[in-house]
Amino acid sequence: MATKKTQTLLLLLTLAALSISCNAGIGDITTYWGQNSSEPSLAEACSRGNYDIVVIGFLHKFGNFQNPEINLAGHCDPTIPHDCAKISPDIKACQSQGIKVFLSLGGSEATLVSTEDAQWLADYLWNNFLGGSSSSRPLGDAVLDGIDFDITGEPTTLYWDELAQMLYDYSQYSQQEQGKKVYLSAIPQCPYPDYWIGKALDTGLFDYVWVEFFNNQRCQYSNGNAINLLNSWEEWTSSVPNATIFLGLPASPDAAFSGGYLTPGQLVSEVLPYVINSDKYGGVMLWNFYFDNISGYSSEIRNVNLESLPAGHSSAIKASA
């Protein structure tokens, strides 16, 4: 006969199992913060309880051995020494809730001109945003969790794979010496392979890839039809090694200048039943927090129970295209 203590333990285990089953949610939700001065603070973004990863954008000026510069669209003034360091407590507040915080690289003044330039940038990122040390850390003493590659339209497609390798090497060192991994992520456009960072993604060093399934008719949801998106999803998940793949979606119609918006209901009924079949599915990336704060998209999808969705088969979608 089971003792009262054993019965209590079994009850707790049963309740835990039921809780896990009932909270089989949409996966992780990522968003970008820092590109609209009208959006709430980073700390408030994280306090909503909707996000698992928040990407700060952007380090918009770097490469060619120029002095890197961050642009947070009015949240702070990078021309004033240490002004952006006031965001450090917000970063730590997010991390205390288990939310990873990355820094995104990308902008009109972003380039790499040589292997040496890539190494210089890797060293700069390590010492100024990650586990290294510098007297000029733009975001203060908070140690970010990863680096994101938003490389689109830059002057060159070269050396991004080398930068990824260098940051990966820093991650290996960081894990051994500090017990903290440096995550690598990227936000390619949905046509495969990505023109700018396709070679970098082929390294298999990226942890997360949030594919931008909008602003491109070839591979976005359009006119109530998900076929192009789903076929592109199949290509990405079958081609990119190692990474967890996210559906990158606009958080409102205004967030996509060339279309690709689908409502939370359309996402749940027409797309999720198919993409969740991939073992590389990780969740949804919403562009961006400013728009999500207005639309409430993340709140609508946060507690979707994937186990309740009907089974879908992407191969059937591909065959009907």
Rounded-to-integer distance, Cα 121 and Cα 77, Å: 22
Helix (H) or strand (E) holding 69: strand 69-70
Rounded-to-integer distance, Cα 70 and Cα 64, Å: 16
Our CA dihedral for 147, 217, 202, 152, rounded to 10 degrees, sits at -40
Q: Could you tell me where the DSSP H helices lie in the chain?
A: 4-22, 42-47, 88-96, 115-129, 160-177, 198-201, 227-239, 264-266, 272-275, 289-295, 297-301, 314-320
* Structure tokens that stand for 246 in this block: 């996210």
Cβ–Cβ under 8 Å, residues 53 and 63: no
Catalytic residue among 44, 69, 109, 154: 154
To the query of whether residue 154 is one of the catalytic residues in this protein, the response is: yes
Tokens 């089989």 locate to 24
Rounded-to-integer distance, Cα 200 and Cα 196, Å: 8
- Which residues are part of the catalytic machinery? 154
